[in-house]
Amino acid sequence: MLPLVDALLTVLHLLIIGFNLFGWIFPATRKLHFIVIMLTAGSWFILGIWFGIGYCPITHWQWEVKEKLGEGNLPGSFITYFANKITGRQFTDDFVNKVTLVCFLAAVLLSVYVNFIKRNKGRR
């Protein structure tokens, strides 16, 4: 059962990451994208006050599952874990966190643009 939970959490992570990066592109998902990206920011920066900046409850749950499955020495983020796993390299949390933050901020700015700025320009 735990391997299935681990796989489902991996799929959930990848869906959220993909949606955070690209959900702003499609007019039908732009409002939902803005909501999801703000929830992600809230997790990282508001819950992060208590649990550490960048906190993700899904990563927290997945690390608990992975530890029960015998995995140890897990990095600070799922993105680091997954990048290391699929490339066979050993990226540092610091490097991955910087790349993640740049991509996240770009997605936030694009979401704000398509949801508020571009939309308001079209109304004139």
Q: Which of 49, 66, 53, 62 is nearest to 104 (CA)?
A: 53
Which residues, other chains included, contact 91 with Cβ-Cβ below 8 Å and sequence gap of 6+? 80, 83, 84
pLDDT (0 to 100) of residue 120: 72
The residue assigned the tokens 């990226």 is 91
Cβ-proximal residues to 56 (8 Å cutoff; 6+ apart), any chain: 43, 44, 77, 78
Average pLDDT over residues 51-72: 97
28: DSSP letter? G
Of 68, 97, 89, nearest in space to 4 by CA: 68
Computed over every residue of the chain, the mean pLDDT equals: 96
- Span 49-67, mean pLDDT? 97
User: What's this model's pTM, rounded to 2 decimal places?
Assistant: 0.92
% of the chain exceeding 70 in pLDDT? 98
Separation of alpha carbons 17 and 40, rounded Å: 10
Average pLDDT over residues 2-25: 98
Residue 39 identity (one-letter amino acid) = L
